[in-house]
């Protein structure tokens, strides 16, 4: 079984938005819409801290389609336009999409939208036009902080690849299982992982 995904080392993310910009450019995402968004979490008081600098913590959290193992968007699609593929990604067949937006309402992460011009729903495709040729998703290749990594969850996080053919296991600071997080799971089993050390997870 394959489950392609992205792992983000949040401690390395500086919130530069290069991933969001690169995604919009290569995928021609309409103005006002995003396939990935970078959210600022905090600043919040550290545990037991005064709430004043430096007793605060803050980090950036990138949210996009999680290419869930059991996607709710696929279940509610009346035409079969939303599909779970063999590589684990969730894709949209635009020829079957009727723009009903049931999938938009079913997504717990608010990462789908209706393309008003084409009257079809769009979202992150994990850059299949690139990955099928062996390249990295654009957001991974353009991450200047080396925070984003691409690979197969089933092969282990250490095997995820980044720019220059480096692997996550070779490059990032050590982490343990308690440092690995996912967005809220409402039964859909999100596949993306987030590594966060020292700070409290507030995903």
pLDDT digits (tens, 9 = 90+) for 90-145: 999 999 999 999 999 999 999 999 999 999 999 999 999 999 999 999 999 999 99
Q: Which residue has the higher pLDDT, 163 or 50?
A: 163
Answer yes or no: is pLDDT of 203 > 80: no
Give the Cα separation of 183 and 194 in Å (integer). Answer: 8
The torsion angles phi and psi of 72, rounded to 5 degrees, stand at: -65, -30
**pLDDT confidence of residue 48:** 78
Q: Which residue has the higher pLDDT, 141 or 164?
A: 141
Answer yes or no: is pLDDT of 50 > 80: no
Answer yes or no: is pLDDT of 6 > 80: yes
Residue that the structure tokens 């390249």 belong to: 135
Specify whether the CB–CB gap between 111 and 104 falls below 8 A. no
Give the total number of structural domains in the chain: 1
Q: Is residue 200 part of a domain?
A: no
Q: Is residue 203 part of a domain?
A: no
Q: Take residue 196 and report the two structure tokens written for it.
A: 């966060």
Q: Residue 125: which residues within 8 A CB-CB, separation 6 or more?
A: 27, 35, 89, 91, 92
Q: How many helices (H) and strands (E) does the chain have?
A: 6, 10
Give the Cα separation of 67 and 85 in Å (integer). Answer: 10
CATH number, domain with residue 145: 3.30.70.20
Answer yes or no: is pLDDT of 49 > 80: no
Nearest Cα to Cα of residue 147 among 11, 5, 42, 3: 11
Answer yes or no: is pLDDT of 47 > 90: no
Answer yes or no: is pLDDT of 180 > 90: yes
Q: Is residue 22 part of a domain?
A: yes
Q: Is residue 202 part of a domain?
A: no
Q: Which of 17-26, 43-52, 194-203 has the lowest mean pLDDT?
A: 43-52
Residue that the structure tokens 């939208």 belong to: 113
Specify whether the CB–CB gap between 73 and 62 falls below 8 A. no
HSE (side-chain half, CA atoms, 13 Å) at 169:
7
Domain membership of residue 60 as a residue range? 4-195
Q: Is residue 126 part of a domain?
A: yes
Q: Which residues of 108-121 are buried (b: 16+ CB within 10 A; e: fewer)?
A: bbebbbbeeeeebb
Specify whether the CB–CB gap between 30 and 120 falls below 8 A. no
């Amino acid at each position: 079984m394959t489950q392609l995904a992205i792992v983000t080392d949040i401690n390395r993310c500086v919130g530069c938005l290069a991933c969001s910009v690169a995604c919009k450019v290569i995928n021609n995402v309409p103005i006002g819409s995003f396939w990935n968004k970078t959210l600022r979490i905090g600043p919040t008081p550290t545990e037991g801290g005064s709430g004043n600098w430096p007793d605060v913590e803050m980090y950036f959290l990138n949210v996009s389609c999680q290419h869930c193992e059991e996607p709710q968007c696929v279940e509610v699609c009346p035409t079969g336009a939303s599909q779970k593929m063999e590589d684990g990604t969730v894709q949209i067949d635009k020829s079957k999409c009727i723009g009903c937006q049931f999938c938009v309402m079913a997504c717990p992460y608010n990462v789908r939208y209706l393309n008003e011009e084409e009257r079809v729903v769009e979202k992150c495709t994990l850059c299949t036009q690139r990955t099928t040729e062996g390249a990295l998703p654009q957001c991974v290749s353009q991450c200047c902080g080396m925070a984003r990594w691409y690979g197969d969850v089933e092969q282990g996080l250490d095997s995820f690849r980044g720019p220059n053919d480096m692997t996550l296991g070779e490059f990032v600071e050590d982490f343990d299982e308690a440092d690995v997080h996912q967005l809220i799971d409402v039964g859909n089993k999100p596949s993306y992982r987030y590594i966060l050390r020292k700070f409290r997870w507030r995903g």
